[in-house]
Amino acid sequence: MTKRQLGLMFRYADGRRVSADDTRDILLDHIAAGHEVIPAGPICPGFDYKTGCPGHESETHA
Protein backbone atom coordinates (compact mmCIF):
# COMPACT_ATOMS: atom_id res chain seq x y z
CA MET A 1 0.00 0.00 0.00
CA THR A 2 1.10 3.56 -0.58
CA LYS A 3 1.69 5.99 2.28
CA ARG A 4 -1.44 7.86 1.16
CA GLN A 5 -3.54 4.69 1.36
CA LEU A 6 -2.14 3.81 4.79
CA GLY A 7 -2.76 7.36 6.01
CA LEU A 8 -6.43 7.11 5.06
CA MET A 9 -7.01 3.76 6.73
CA PHE A 10 -7.64 4.68 10.40
CA ARG A 11 -8.81 7.56 12.57
CA TYR A 12 -8.34 8.22 16.27
CA ALA A 13 -11.48 8.45 18.43
CA ASP A 14 -11.29 12.26 18.21
CA GLY A 15 -11.43 12.13 14.39
CA ARG A 16 -7.77 12.84 13.59
CA ARG A 17 -6.22 10.56 10.98
CA VAL A 18 -3.58 8.05 12.08
CA SER A 19 -0.34 8.71 10.19
CA ALA A 20 0.86 6.24 7.56
CA ASP A 21 3.87 5.31 9.72
CA ASP A 22 1.71 4.72 12.80
CA THR A 23 -0.78 2.70 10.72
CA ARG A 24 2.05 0.50 9.45
CA ASP A 25 3.27 -0.02 13.04
CA ILE A 26 -0.24 -0.90 14.24
CA LEU A 27 -0.73 -3.45 11.46
CA LEU A 28 2.72 -4.99 11.98
CA ASP A 29 2.02 -5.30 15.73
CA HIS A 30 -1.19 -7.22 14.93
CA ILE A 31 0.69 -9.52 12.55
CA ALA A 32 3.42 -10.12 15.14
CA ALA A 33 0.75 -11.02 17.71
CA GLY A 34 -0.69 -13.63 15.31
CA HIS A 35 -3.94 -11.75 14.73
CA GLU A 36 -5.78 -12.72 11.55
CA VAL A 37 -8.73 -10.36 12.06
CA ILE A 38 -8.72 -6.87 13.60
CA PRO A 39 -11.77 -4.94 14.78
CA ALA A 40 -13.04 -2.08 12.63
CA GLY A 41 -14.45 -0.30 15.68
CA PRO A 42 -14.88 -0.91 19.39
CA ILE A 43 -14.18 -4.53 20.31
CA CYS A 44 -17.44 -6.38 20.91
CA PRO A 45 -18.00 -9.05 23.57
CA GLY A 46 -16.65 -12.35 22.31
CA PHE A 47 -14.41 -10.82 19.64
CA ASP A 48 -11.66 -13.22 18.59
CA TYR A 49 -8.55 -12.20 16.66
CA LYS A 50 -8.74 -15.44 14.64
CA THR A 51 -12.47 -15.51 13.77
CA GLY A 52 -13.70 -11.95 14.39
CA CYS A 53 -17.09 -11.03 15.80
CA PRO A 54 -19.25 -13.99 16.83
CA GLY A 55 -22.41 -12.12 15.78
CA HIS A 56 -25.08 -10.62 17.95
CA GLU A 57 -28.84 -10.64 18.07
CA SER A 58 -30.22 -7.28 17.06
CA GLU A 59 -32.78 -5.47 19.15
CA THR A 60 -36.17 -4.99 17.56
CA HIS A 61 -37.70 -1.61 18.26
CA ALA A 62 -41.50 -1.47 18.23
- Look at residue 61 and tell me whether its pLDDT is greater than 60: no
CA–CA separation, 48 and 23 (whole Å): 21
Q: In this structure, is the dihedral angle defined by the CA atoms of residues 8, 42, 14 and 26, taken in order, positive or negative?
A: negative
DSSP annotation string for 1-62:
--HHHHHTT-B-TTSPBPPHHHHHHHHHHHHHTT-S---SSSPPTT-BTTTB----PPPPP-
Per-range mean pLDDT, top range of 29-33, 39-43, 58-62:
29-33
Q: What is the pLDDT of residues 4-27, one digit of tens each?
A: 999 999 998 899 999 999 999 999
The whole model's pTM is what?
A: 0.74
Report domain extents, the chain: 1-62
- Look at residue 62 and tell me whether its pLDDT is greater than 70: no
Question: What percent of the chain is predicted at pLDDT more than 70?
Answer: 92
